[in-house]
Amino acid sequence: MMLGAKQLRPGVVIIFNGQLHEVVDANHHKPGKGGAFVRTKLRNLASGAIIPETVRPEDTFEQVYIDQKMVQYLFKDDMGYCVMDETTYEQFYIPVNVMGDTAEYLKDNMRITVNFHDNKLLSVTMPIHVVLKVIETEPGFKGNTVTGANKPAKVESGKTVRVPLFVNAGDVIKIDTRTGEYIERV
């Protein structure tokens, strides 16, 4: 299916320069002088690189449909990250380079989404928020009420995040996987 540049929306996957790209952002601009244009940010699904691109509204792109599967993370070994398809119970490995930085949020039995095109594994989509237990951080002291002050905390997956001063080891916190920021104590 062909899409015009004005129809580009975040989440749509298109073929751009012969490769699969996911639209991260698309804004239509019509300046007072000159022709209209569409400013986009495209993520190359093969490399993960995000590129800014400006296109004309009359440009067209082929839309590609991606198959998504919910899988459950089981374990990591020298072959990569082992996951299980929740509908067929088939187990397969996700290579370390495909998992990328999202692996910092993984914990046993977590549900994640894997994206396929023509039965080829493209990428992994983490849940927007994850709930993880704080394993190690400096203790909070009564009276630490400085607004906006943060300290580092190591969570059960091994990632270190910045948390408010009142968060202690053993607390369970919610983290935004898109930004890596602390959201709230659970």
Confidence (pLDDT) at 120: 85
| Inter-residue contact 174 to 155 (CB < 8 Å) | no
Average pLDDT score over residue span 11-31: 89
Q: For 39-85, write each residue's pLDDT tens digit.
A: 999 988 877 788 999 999 899 999 988 888 999 999 999 999 999 99
Query: Residue 45 CB: number of other CB atoms within 10 A?
Result: 19
Q: Name every residue whose Cβ is closer than 8 Å to that of residue 93 and which is 6 or more positions away in sequence.
A: 79, 80, 81, 82, 83
Residue 24 zone, left/alpha/beta (φ > 0; ψ -120 to 50; rest) = alpha
Would you say residue 142 has pLDDT above 70? Answer: no
Would you say residue 148 has pLDDT above 80? Answer: no
pLDDT band at 145 (very low <50, low <70, confident <90, very high): low
Tokens linked to 119:
């039965």
Protein fold of 129-185: OB fold (Dihydrolipoamide Acetyltransferase, E2P) (2.40.50)
Tokens linked to 172:
């369970």
Confidence (pLDDT) at 73: 94
| Inter-residue contact 155 to 135 (CB < 8 Å) | yes
Would you say residue 93 has pLDDT above 90? Answer: yes
Confidence (pLDDT) at 178: 80
| Inter-residue contact 26 to 15 (CB < 8 Å) | no
Listed ranges 115-129, 135-149, 162-176; the one with the highest mean pLDDT = 162-176
Which DSSP symbol is given to 79?
T
pLDDT band at 144 (very low <50, low <70, confident <90, very high): low
Confidence (pLDDT) at 147: 66
Continuous segment of H or E residues that includes residue 98: helix 96-99
Domain boundaries 67-125, corresponding CATH code: 2.40.50.140
| Inter-residue contact 89 to 70 (CB < 8 Å) | no
Domain ranges (residues) in the chain:
2-64, 67-125, 129-185
pTM (predicted TM-score): 0.71
Average pLDDT score over residue span 132-149: 76
Protein fold of 2-64: SH3 type barrels. (2.30.30)
Tell me what percent of the residues of the chain surpass a pLDDT of 70. Answer: 95
Of residues 168 and 45, the one with the higher pLDDT is 168
Of 25-39, 89-103, 145-159, where does mean pLDDT reach its minimum? 145-159
Tokens linked to 40:
């986009």
Would you say residue 94 has pLDDT above 80? Answer: yes
Asked, colleague to colleague, whether 2-64 and 129-185 share their fold, the answer is no
SS3 for 59-73 is: CEEEEECCEEEEEEE
**91-94 and 80-85 beta bridge pairing:** antiparallel
Give whole-number Cα distances, 169 to 12, 37, 132, 134, 166, in Å: 41, 51, 11, 5, 10
Q: What is the CA radius of gyration of the chain?
A: 21
